[in-house]
Structure 1
Amino acid sequence: MHLFSVDAALVQRYLVSDVLSGAEAAALLERRAISDGTPIYLDDESMMPIEPLNSWARSMSYADLEASTMRDYGRILTRVDRHQAKRGSDLLGATESDLVAYRKLRTELQRKPIGGSAWTKESGLIDQFYGYLVDEKHLVRRPVRLAARGRNALSPRVRMGMDIRHMTFEQFRYFRDVGFGGELMNTHVNRSFRGSAPHRNRAAADLALGSGTRWREWATVLLPELGIGDQGADYGAEFTVQACAKYGKSRTVYVPSDAVDSVETYCLLERQEIAQAAAKTLGRKHRDLFVVTRIADGQVRGVLDGVEHEYEMSAMDADLRRITVREGEFGLEALTVFICRGGLMPGADSWKRYRHAAWRRMQDLRDETTPPLPRKRWRWHDLRHTYALQMLTYLENQMDGEEPDPAARRRRHRSYLTGHIRYNPLLIVSRRLGHSSPETTYAYLQYTDDLVNEFEAAFKGWVGDDDATYAQIAAHAMRAARQPAEVG
């Protein structure tokens, strides 16, 4: 079985057929509401569509899932199919023992077994797939029996909580300045440093921590959203994130002035040189790019595939942002803040590579002055966790001072819930993080009693190179909370 995925833009540009033109095929996909990323399963020999797999894939497209999510789901089902082929069967002929064997392979026997959260995703999809087959009468019953309390043989053995990993001040500075910035522990330049774009990567760390956003949100941010060059150093930036947010949930993101300053430093010292070197390459690719001609009032207007389009910036997804460019001093220039040598936004694999390289430098340069490093490698998402914990702790202390007694702190949270809901630190942080439920944010409370409480003020001196304090983030959040709630 071969796996492909839908990409309407590629079809329109490159499909050559006597039966159907690329434009006609793209129009048909749009008419049928088949989204990009929808898996396509073809037979190994005949290259004909395989049913009911493609019908199931179409149902996912109608569920309005993200393209990356559907590609992941397509790969999961392909792995199960290959496992079944080795056992002389197929997906429709799977038995409970087949799927239990697959679970054991993935979680125990393969060279690098997957963890509980990854298996939760796979088992959930497998269960959903066979539920679809039963609903559509392709199977009489699911291959895996339902046991007590709704569990089955594919369910994870342990219910996984949030894997909250955060940094202390010293750890963050070591991560940012030594790992990314090419410095030594004494703040001197490391002459043996061979990393690329240190100012970009340091700015990324500052932006991720200062805004508390997810990777998909801060890595795709546009220059106009941060107001780079349009505002003074005393002002932060505020913009709406939606298409790049988890579940497409709209919220306002606030970036303090120190983080904006860090990004501006990168733009002045490094970004311009990268953009200049890549201008000719982008010029040759202009037909495949969204060339912006006007930016105003949170909207961009430009030409894509020879057609003029206008978008709200908040409604632009990551794929569109990646190909968005404008005419700059040296030619076409990406509109995203962060760019790589090709002139466009770095992808997930690139940011992962930068992070892994930083971790290796951190390990190589560690000595007796180095802050304790965790057993596991840092993740970009750890900066979001750090933001949440620092912010929550700071807001608590602003409400009624520091409280050394853990039991008293827990009582304090219960009293918050009975007070005015907009002033509750837990709910303020929940809104800032874009959590679907305050219950998710509540998981952070068990971590507010460790090293993060030793600092007098949240984020003091973390972002930027001055002794600025991130109390401005808390002040901004409290001002927003005091504003009258919108009606409707």
Structure 2
Amino acid sequence: MRRFTVDSKLAEQYLESPVLSGVDVARLLRERSISDGTPIYLGDETMMPIEPLCSWGRNLSYAELSRTTMQDYGRIMARFAAHQASHGRDVVSASESDLVAYRRQRTQLQRRPIGVSAWRKESVLLDQFYNFLEKTGHRRQRPVRVAARGRNPLSPRLRRAMDIRHLTLEQYRYFRDVGLGGQRPDSRIDRGFRGWAPHRSRAGADLALGTGMRWQEWATVLLPELGIGTATPGTSVEFTVQACAKYGKARGIYVPEESMRSVETYLLLERPELIAAAAKTLERRHRELFVVSRIDRESGLVHGVQDGEQHVFTLAGMPPILRRITVHEGEFGLEALAVFVCRGGLMPGADSWKRYRHAAWRRMVALADESAPRLPRKRWRWHDLRHTHALQLLTYLEQQLEGAEPDPAARQRRHLRYLTEHVRRNPLLIVSRRLGHSSPEATYAYLQYTDDLINEFEEAFSGWIGDQTEEVTYAQIAAHAFALDSQPGQDLG
């Protein structure tokens, strides 16, 4: 069996067939609502569709899942199908013992067993797949008996706690300035540094830390959202994130002044060179790009042309895949509308940002000496900056609301009292709303860290972002959070 994924653009550009042209195929995919990323399964010898896997893939497309999610689901089912084939069976006729054997293989026997979270995702998908087979008549019942209250019996019994990893001030500056920025631990310039676009990576880190956004939110931000070209340089800005947010949940984002200054330094020193070098390449690809002709900043509407057709989108409603190909006419010709760009002139993808982070970690480990802060056993993730933002902001709001509580028992009682406080003055709920958590329960996990001795209040907010150590950026963020969340009906757009 072979697995493929739908890509209408590739079909339109490269498909040559006497039966259907690439343009006809792309049109049919749109008419049948088959989205890019939909998994397709074909036989090794016949290259004919394998059912019911292809019908299940089409069902994923109708559910309007993201491209990356469908690709991930497609890989999981292909892996399970390969496991069944290795035992002379198929996915439709799978028994309970087959699924239990697959679980044991994935979680215990393979060279690198997967963890609780990864298996939970696979078990839920397998449960949904056999539910689909039951509804469509391919099976009379599921292979695994439904547990009490409809629970999936293949799901792991253990529930993994939220993995909160935060950085101290010294750790963050070492990560940003030494790992990403090319400095030496003593703050001198490293003449031997061979990293690419260090100001871009430093700006990304400062934007992530200052806003608490998830990776897909800050890495896909567009120039108009930060007010580049219209707002006064070095001032804080606000915008709404939605299509790039988890579950598409809209929320307001506040970008403090120091984060903006860090981004503007990158825009001034590095981005023009990247844009100029890629202008000719983008010009040759203009038909496959979304070329913006006008941006209505009051309504947030973006007008442009893609493949000869006029389109209008809202800024907040533009998904990551569209943002990646969005360009406009600039000083050097066509240039990306994204804040962060790579050598190709467009937005760096997940693998690129992962590569920047891994290179920074290797450099940090190699240069670590007695002056360097203590490094964790596992390399840092971009998401750790979101955890750090949440923890620092929550600590500050606690102190502002109740004052210093040296007694741990008193602090614990204070945490519990938050549940009965006014909803708009509750630090826990303020941070929950700012991070876009679906439930305050996710934010509650941070409370155990606010009593950690490495987070001293006196130095928690000074000099985290930017290079001016006298700035109190987190106090600025916290004050804005209090003011914003205490005004009902405030428009965050």
| Residues 333, 343 of structure 1: 8 Å contact kept | yes
- Give yes or no for contact 2:251–2:436 (8 Å, CA) kept in 1: yes
Q: CA deviation at 1:486?
A: 6.5
Q: Which amino acid counterpart does residue 333 of structure 1 have in structure 2?
A: E
User: 2:76 matched to which residue of 1?
Assistant: 76
TM-score, normalised to structure 2's length?
0.94
Is the CA contact 2:127–2:152 (under 8 Å) kept in the aligned structure 1?
Answer: no
Q: How does 1:173-252 map to 2 (within 5 A)?
A: 173-252=173-252
Tell me the TM-score normalized by structure 1. Answer: 0.95
Q: Secondary structure at the match of 1:377?
A: coil
The aligned counterpart of 1:270 is 270
Q: Is the 8 A contact 2:107 2:114 kept in 1?
A: yes
The aligned amino acid for 2:259 is: A
* Whole-Å separation in 2 of the counterparts to 1:418 and 1:277: 57
Of 328, 339, 348 in structure 2, the residue corresponding to residue 337 of structure 1 is: 339
Which deviates the most, 33-42 or 468-477? 33-42
> Hey, what's the Cα distance between the residues in 2 that align with 1:175 and 1:453?
17
Please identify, of 304-313 and 7-16, the stretch whose mean Cα deviation from structure 2 is larger.
7-16
Aligned to 2:26: 26
Corresponding position of 2:118: 118
Equivalent of 1:473, from 467, 477, 480?
Answer: 477
Distance, in Å, in 2 between the alignment partners of 1:141 and 1:49 is 24
SS at match of 2:113: coil
> Aligned AA for 2:281?
T
Equivalent-residue separation in structure 2 for 1:482 and 1:411 (angstroms):
23
1:116-157: CA deviations, max 9, x gaps? 111111111112111221222212232223456766663224
Q: CA deviation at 1:10?
A: 3.1
Q: Give per-residue Cα distances to partners, 1:445-487, cap 9 Å, x unaligned.
A: 1121114531326432111011211211111111111222369
User: Which shifted more, 134-143 or 83-92?
Assistant: 134-143
Q: Which amino acid aligns with 2:455?
A: N
Query: 1:132-191 deviations in whole A, cap 9, x for unaligned?
Result: 212222122322234567666632241112111111111101110010011111100112
Greater displacement, 458-467 / 10-19: 10-19
Deviation for aligned residue 1:88: 1.1
Identity score, percent: 67
- SS at structure 1 position matched to 2:362: helix
Look up the equivalent residue of 1:209 and give its one-letter code: L
Aligned residue number for residue 44 of structure 1: 44
Cα distance between partner residues in 2 of 1:337 and 1:99 = 46
Maintained 8 Å contact 1:458/1:471: no
Tell me whether 1:321 sits opposite 2:314 in the alignment.
Answer: no
Q: CA deviation at 1:63?
A: 2.0
Picking from 460, 477, 487, the partner of 1:483 is 487
Q: In structure 1, what residue type is equivalent to 2:262?
A: S
Q: Give the whole-Å Cα distance in 2 for the aligned partners of 1:236 and 1:273.
A: 26
Q: Distance in 1 between matches of 2:420 and 2:274?
A: 53
Displacement of 1:240 in angstroms is: 0.9
Compare 61-70 and 389-398 and name the one that shifted more.
Answer: 61-70
Alignment partner of 1:343: what SS?
A: coil
Q: How far off is 1:101 after superposition?
A: 2.3
Q: 1:364 aligns with which of 361, 366, 377?
A: 366
CA distance in 1, matches of 2:81, 2:488: 55
Aligned residue for 2:40, secondary structure, equals strand
Cα shift at 1:64 = 2.1
Counterpart of 1:435 (choices 434, 437, 441) is 437
Name the CA distance, whole Å, in 1 between partners of 2:151 and 2:223: 48
Q: Letter of the aligned partner of 1:185 in structure 2? A: P
Of 451, 455, 458, the residue aligned with 1:456 is: 458
- Encode CA deviations 1:323-358: one digit per residue, 9 max, x unaligned: 111111112111101111111111111111110000
User: Counterparts of 1:367-378 in structure 2 under 5 Å?
Assistant: 367-378=369-380
Q: Alpha-carbon deviations, 1:82-106, whole Å to 9, x = none?
A: 1111111111122222222222222
Q: Distance in 1 between matches of 2:461 and 2:216?
A: 22
Which 10-residue stretch deviates more, 268-277 or 139-148?
A: 139-148
AA partner of residue 176 (structure 1) = R
Amino acid at match of 1:76: I
Post-superposition CA distance 1:358-409 (Å, at most 9, x none): 0000110111111111111100100011111111111111112121223322
Q: How much has 1:62 moved relative to structure 2?
A: 2.1
What residue identity is the alignment partner of 1:100?
V
Aligned ranges 1:103-142 → 2 under 5 Å:
103-142=103-142
8 Å CA contact 1:274, 1:340 repeated in 2: yes
Question: Which of these residues, 342, 348, 351, is aligned with residue 350 of structure 2?
Answer: 348
Task: Give the superposition deviation at 1:299.
Answer: 2.3
Q: Report the Cα distance in structure 1 between the residues aligned to 2:135 and 2:482, rounded to whole angstroms.
A: 49
- Provide the alpha-carbon RMSD of the alignment: 1.8
**CA offsets, 1:237-258, max 9 Å, x none?**
1111111111111111111110
Between the aligned partners of 1:373 and 1:138, the Cα distance in structure 2 is 53
Residue 417 of structure 2 corresponds to residue 380 of structure 1: no
Residue type at the aligned position of 2:123: S
Distance in 1 (CA, whole Å) between partners of 2:270 and 2:9 is 32
State the alpha-carbon separation in 2 of the partners of residues 166 and 319 from structure 1: 30
Given that residues 389 and 452 in structure 1 are in contact (C-alpha distance below 8 angstroms), is that contact kept between their aligned partners in structure 2?
Answer: no
1:4 and 2:4 aligned: yes
> Secondary structure in 1 aligned to 2:312?
strand
State the alpha-carbon separation in 2 of the partners of residues 190 and 123 from structure 1.
Answer: 49
Note if contact 1:209-1:386 (Cα within 8 Å) is conserved in structure 2. Answer: yes
Per the TM alignment, residue 22 of structure 1 is displaced from its structure 2 partner at its CA by: 3.4
SS in 2 for 1:315: coil
CA separation of 1:409 and 1:315: change in aligned 2, threshold 3 A: same
Letter in 2 for 1:468: E
Q: State the shift of 1:268 in Å.
A: 0.8
2:435 maps to a residue whose letter is L
Q: Which moved more, 1:22-31 or 1:295-304?
A: 22-31
| 3-state SS of paired residue (2:273) | helix
CA contact (8 A) 1:100 1:153 kept: no
